[in-house]
Structure 1
Amino acid sequence: MTLPSSARPSSGPIHPALTATDPELAALVGAEEQLQADTLRLIPSENYVSVAVLEASGTVLQNKYSEGYPGRRYYEGQQNIDLVERLAIARAKAVFGVEHANVQPYSGSPANLAVYLAFAEPGDAVMGMALPMGGHLTHGWGVSATGRWFRGVQYGVRQDTGLVDLDEVRDLALKERPKLIFCGGTALPRTIDFAAFAEIAREAGSVLVADIAHIAGLIAGGAHPSPVPHADVISTTTHKTLRGPRGAMLMSREEHAKAIDKAVFPGLQGGPHNQTTAAIAVALHEASQPSFRDYAHAVVANAKALAEALLARGFDLVSGGTDNHLILMDLTPKDVPGKVAAKALDRAGIVVNYNTVPFDPRKPFDPSGVRIGTPSLTSRGLGPEHMPTVADWIDRSVTAADAGDEDALTKIRREVADLMAAYPAPGLPTA
């Protein structure tokens, strides 16, 4: 294959075995390291993990098969693996204050599917936020298995405020009586009212599932209210704001522990990825430190400062701003489609994703908006004082996209790289 022009072999001390064995792949890894170092990553579901998390992800735990749960395995030689998983479980329970935790789900979508297996039968009604309104595919959306195997009932947001209309949610829940109600999503810039959703679920006789994949780190750091007193089940990924490996967890009250565990294994999965379990344990240990609480609050402070700076430059933000790490921008007033803007921003060294906005008249693959967030830049040490500069870069890039001004994008990219060089990213090799 032809390597990208930015590909370079990793330096000897960083990946010596990989470089010796497969220099082609090593060059691609090196190119990605350079790209992550030089660019401003604003995708709200991305972050930088620590060197410790990276190291745990690449240990000899990769070599072990461990079907079952600690003390109840189908393979021998689990003396150390059981301790690793028990450590991750204990830390999850301590960080989030839950009665039960399962750290085996491979990722967020399989974790959510396990919830369906635990509590619903095919054809049952399940309720979640509609994907175009900010929900997730696995909350019963039609193109997902969860929408094909179950009867998806979707709620949205008010067109005038961009906020969830909880009265409408209640009316819909009492009418449809879904087995599951999901709260949470992938493009929600405002605080989730877990208590209100719990009251609705009780009235409707539904199991409340809080999908906190995006905000788990904020909850762990006390920067967002916790669903623990309210939700029957909590689903989360372990990356994003939690700054762990690509994995997932399910947490619940003790009364649901058996159903959850049985759904994960043997219901959906075989052997867990032990190296990922170890990295989750490391990330949870990091999340228990006072510095992580500072980080979580800094993420929100940066997002609020960035939102204010964007509003000052005439950008239209869904719901008018943010309470968390995420900002959803409607570029319709700028007369620039989201996809065009996202690709121009990428050329300027600013990494975002194009995204639908509520009531979007455009198609999902060519929507009106872009979704941005502050977890990664906060991990690099940028603060509110930098957000006007970031907003200025976004404004100039969108203007350049509209005008087809590639020279302007090239200039911005140099400015971005200069600032990024002053704030090295955790986990990335230094020159």
Structure 2
Amino acid sequence: MTDATHRYSTVAAQDPAAAEALAGERRRQRETLTLIASENHVSEAVLEAQSSELANKYAEGYPGERYYAGCKHADTLEQLAIDRAHELWGADHVNVQPHSGTQANQAVYLATLEPGDQILSLELSHGGHLSHGHPANFTGQRYEVEHYHVDAETGYIDYDELDKKAARFDPDMVVSGSSAYPRYIDYERIQAAADAADALHLADVAHTTGLIAAGEHPSPVGVADFVTGSTQKTIRAGRGGIIMSREKWADEIDTAVFPGAQGGPLMHNIAGKAVGFGEALEPAFEEYAANVVRNAEVLADRFQGHGLSLVSGGTDKHLVLVDLRESHPDVTGAEAQDALEQAGIILNKNTVPGETRSPFVASGIRVGTPALTTRGFGPEAIETVADAIIRVLDSPGEEATLEAVFEEVRILYDQFPIYEDQAHPVGDDD
């Protein structure tokens, strides 16, 4: 029996098929290197909280004002998550009930906009997010959307263009934030553009919640009207979303989340948020966040040393965006992603500014350091990973190279286990 199947032995006794999939995912995470910028490995404590009996509890409403009885402990945990969020980010008002970062955005839109209102946001292929107005998303179908972009030469947000578009388009809301932009965001500059247009400002910090909490990225809290984020990425808490706002919007936001956009909250995930936020208040978390950024800088330097082209020429935070068109013109992002997965390295294809390929093919890859940093990777190990990625990119269809890189990956995942019981796997059948 592997360590993974042993962990799910109760499930295995009742549902072998489900247990096999669960065990397989635990083993996959242990035996690959995760460089997807939006993924991380939460602690055993957060896992335990998320699998608690709160999975059984309906708790519609908010602490002290629930629709159902029996919410004493649910109230305690949700208030704990709220209080810790206040301490981490300093927001006036906090709502921890959104099921995801996208649903946090949805609630802000619902609280403040009418159908047909106008949103100005960063273009998806320039690093934005689907929920900022893409036509395939509800935002692009419900609201009128226009986009600002990154400068084609520098790879940085073109704030002059943003100012001009805000003046001409006259948006009701300006959205800042990104899913694949490797540089700091000037929230004050965007707030000034929103103010000039008499628009609201939503800052989506889904990727940088943890970096902001640790002081490794500028904070939009106290600058923007609304700040939304995910709680499982760089903050390493229970999976879901969070909304922070000025106090004057508290009632509108809470009503938009429930009953406006959601029913009962996922109380087991909120328990995970509370535990993860508590971990982020410890001094060790600041060191972790600093290491995430340092590792990303090492990754960027190593890539550039091998001749890869990076959007904006580097990074300020947890991710590097590689444009393959110059160094590897015949390798698409999808091909790179697939070849690297065969070698045990997990990252994602990504569009790049000026993209000419379909987003399902793409011309770039997005590479992030939060999960490897959680495992204990430092600069030397990160350089080894960067070198391995280059070898695969240079020979994406060469089986001997993929096999050789996988052997290097095996050494690294044994050296840096995710959880203590994975340090010395027992009875491994691979």
Cα distance, 1:424 vs structure 2: 0.9
Cα distance, 1:33 vs structure 2: 1.2
Match of 2:306 among 313, 325, 336: 313
Q: Answer yes or no: is 1:230 the counterpart of 2:226.
A: no
Counting only pairs closer than 5 Å after superposition, residues 211-250 of structure 1 correspond to structure 2 as 211-250=204-243
Q: Distance in 2 between matches of 1:91 and 1:51?
A: 19
Q: Answer yes or no: is 1:208 the counterpart of 2:201.
A: yes
Match of 2:77 among 64, 76, 84: 84
* Unaligned segments of structure 1, at least 5 residues: 1-6
Q: Secondary structure at the match of 1:344?
A: helix
Q: Answer yes or no: is 1:255 the counterpart of 2:248.
A: yes
Q: Answer yes or no: is 1:117 the counterpart of 2:117.
A: no
Q: Secondary structure at the match of 1:242?
A: coil
Match of 2:32 among 24, 27, 39: 39
Counting only pairs closer than 5 Å after superposition, residues 324-335 of structure 1 correspond to structure 2 as 324-333=317-326, 334-335=328-329
Q: Distance in 1 between matches of 2:372 and 2:63?
A: 38
Does structure 2 retain, via aligned residues, the 8 Å contact 1:241–1:375?
yes
Counting only pairs closer than 5 Å after superposition, residues 372-387 of structure 1 correspond to structure 2 as 372-387=367-382
Does structure 2 retain, via aligned residues, the 8 Å contact 1:8–1:31?
no
Match of 2:357 among 354, 362, 365: 362
Q: Distance in 1 between matches of 2:235 and 2:4?
A: 28
- TM-score by length of structure 1 reads 0.96
For 1:3, the equivalent position in structure 2 comes to none
Cα distance, 1:8 vs structure 2: 6.5
Q: Distance in 2 between matches of 1:396 and 1:178?
A: 46
For 2:259, the equivalent position in structure 1 comes to 266
* Unaligned segments of structure 2, at least 5 residues: 426-430
Does structure 2 retain, via aligned residues, the 8 Å contact 1:8–1:27?
no
Cα distance, 1:35 vs structure 2: 1.2
Q: Answer yes or no: is 1:295 the counterpart of 2:288.
A: yes
Does structure 2 retain, via aligned residues, the 8 Å contact 1:126–1:153?
yes
What amino acid does structure 2 have at the position aligned with 1:123?
G
Q: Secondary structure at the match of 1:240?
A: coil
Match of 1:75 among 68, 75, 96: 68
Does structure 1 retain, via aligned residues, the 8 Å contact 2:238–2:274?
no
Q: Relative to structure 2, which stretch is displaced further, 198-207 or 307-316?
A: 198-207
Q: Distance in 2 between matches of 1:277 and 1:428?
A: 26
For 2:51, the equivalent position in structure 1 comes to 58
For 2:146, the equivalent position in structure 1 comes to 153
Q: Distance in 2 between matches of 1:275 and 1:297?
A: 29
Q: Distance in 1 between matches of 2:176 and 2:409?
A: 36
Query: Residues 45 and 417 (structure 1 numbering): CA distance in 2 closer, same or farther, change over 3 Å?
Result: same
For 1:281, the equivalent position in structure 2 comes to 274
Q: Answer yes or no: is 1:392 the counterpart of 2:383.
A: no
Cα distance, 1:429 vs structure 2: 4.2
Q: Distance in 2 between matches of 1:406 and 1:81?
A: 52
Q: Distance in 2 between matches of 1:57 and 1:159?
A: 43
Q: Distance in 1 between matches of 2:367 and 2:137?
A: 24
Q: Distance in 2 between matches of 1:118 and 1:339?
A: 38
Q: Distance in 1 between matches of 2:169 and 2:87?
A: 36
Does structure 1 retain, via aligned residues, the 8 Å contact 2:5–2:20?
no
Q: Distance in 2 between matches of 1:428 and 1:395?
A: 32
Q: Relative to structure 2, which stretch is displaced further, 343-352 or 23-32?
A: 23-32
Query: Residues 350 and 62 (structure 1 numbering): CA distance in 2 closer, same or farther, change over 3 Å?
Result: same
Structure 1 stretches of 4+ with a deviation exceeding 4 A read: 427-430
Cα distance, 1:340 vs structure 2: 0.7
Cα distance, 1:384 vs structure 2: 1.3
Q: Distance in 2 between matches of 1:340 and 1:145?
A: 30
Does structure 1 retain, via aligned residues, the 8 Å contact 2:229–2:242?
yes
Q: Distance in 2 between matches of 1:172 and 1:426?
A: 49
What amino acid does structure 2 have at the position aligned with 1:119?
T
Equivalent pairs: percent with the same residue?
46
Q: Distance in 2 between matches of 1:11 and 1:79?
A: 35
